[in-house]
Amino acid sequence: MLSRPSVPSDLSVTPDPSTASDPNAVSDLVEPVLAWYDACGRDLPWRRPEATPWGVFVSEVMSQQTPLSRVEPRWVEWLTRWPTPAALAADSPGEAVRAWDRLGYPRRALRLHEAATAMVRDHDGQVPERLEELLALPGVGAYTAAAVLAFAYGGHSVVVDTNVRRVQARAVSGRALAAPTQTAAEVRLAASLVPDDPGLAARWNVAIMELGALVCTARSPQCERCPIREACAWQAAGAPPDDGPPRRGQSWHGTDRQIRGRILALLRAAPGPLPRGALEAACPEEPDRFARCLAGLVEDRLIEPDEAPDEAPDEAEEAAPEEDPGTSGDSGDLYRLPR
């Protein structure tokens, strides 16, 4: 919900990387980054003036560990179907999981539904405006609370994600990459860079994240396009490579996450419950892994057993031989998305 006010055009001051944390150097970093964002930032629907706090909230939950190119179409579908917290809370958790589709980490869909329910119950159906109230919502941590406060309400907060950490590691600390996990020192550094003015602070938060996402990327930084290249401590040091241990990306193929995703995809596509035998198509070669993934989905409340109503068996059923355990014909072996 950020507007784009005009940005000062006089960017002639060259910052000194060695003093990047003092007020003057911070100002010299902020102005070029804001100017770059004004010209190059992506036009995403949740950044437009008409975006609602609920739309911003949904975008932040969806964007965690998910590329924005995949988030945008799903966000549009969600906001069309559930334009308010009350609309989502009135629907079932299973429909939230179904609509989540293949965004990944589907427990976020349940947390969104739980957060919407809490907003209706405790906040008159509105996204709360205070940091402590945001943090009390189900599934909301420090990053999401700070981002919603900044981007939905223009509040002064310190928004720290992977992109922010990487930009400040290079521009201020002279390192190729940030620490493997977020540190208190990184949060303090991010806080020192945020302008005091709430309006500028909100714009700085989104601008530095965008710079990390589009220019100061992890694997192929486009330093020739960077608005603070002349101020960058990493560039001044000759862009040394990361001296930490090799970092491996998260695998997907052949993991339990992949099997869980296949099971959920089958249930999303089905108009009703499916028997266990049909779900076994998600992992036919490894029955033990399938059983583990199925049990994990039930434990995480992403799916649930669907018990058929008790009925008195007829004579033919009584006379029929008992089926082997785990066959797809068992009425008690049905699964569905949560109600």
- Cross-strand bridge partners of residue 73: none
User: Which two structure tokens, joined as six digits, stand for 19?
Assistant: 């003093």
CA distance 199 to 121: 30
Three-state secondary-structure class, residue 273: coil
Backbone angles phi, psi at 304, to 5 degrees: -150, 150
- 274, β-bridge pairs: 335
Question: Is there a contact between 79 and 91 (Cβ–Cβ < 8 Å)?
Answer: no
Cα gap 190→184, rounded to integer Å: 10
- Residue 238, burial from CB neighbour count under 10 angstroms (0-12, 13-18, 19+): exposed
Listed in sequence order, the DSSP H helices in the chain are: 23-40, 53-63, 68-81, 85-89, 93-100, 107-122, 131-135, 142-153, 162-171, 184-193, 198-214, 233-236, 256-269, 276-279, 287-299, 315-319
pLDDT of residue 314: 47
- Which is catalytic among the residues 31, 60, 186, 210? 60
Q: Which positions ≥6 away from 229 have C-beta within 8 Å? A: 223, 235
For residue 21, the model assigns a pLDDT of 46
pTM for the model stands at: 0.82
* Residues 290 and 280 sit within 8 Å (Cβ to Cβ): yes
Q: Give CA separation, 64 vs 58, 91, 117, in Å.
A: 11, 23, 21
Using only C-alpha atoms, the chain has a radius of gyration, in whole angstroms, of: 25
Of the chain, the end-to-end C-alpha distance in Å amounts to 33
Classified as helix, coil or strand, 305 is strand
Q: How many helices (H) and strands (E) does the chain have?
A: 16, 3
In 3D, which of 211, 90, 194 has the Cα closest to residue 149? 194
What is the tens place of the pLDDT at every residue in 294-316? 999 999 999 999 875 544 444 44
CA of 226: how far to CAs of 4, 105, 135, 189, 235, in Å? 20, 32, 34, 20, 11
pLDDT value, residue 325: 36
For the chain, which ranges sit under pLDDT 50?
1-21, 310-332
- Is 286 in the active site? no
Rounded distance between C-alpha atoms, residue 226 and residue 267, angstroms? 45
Instruction: Please report, as a single letter, which amino acid is at residue 216.
Output: C
* Inter-axis angle of helices 162-171 and 198-214, nearest 10: 90
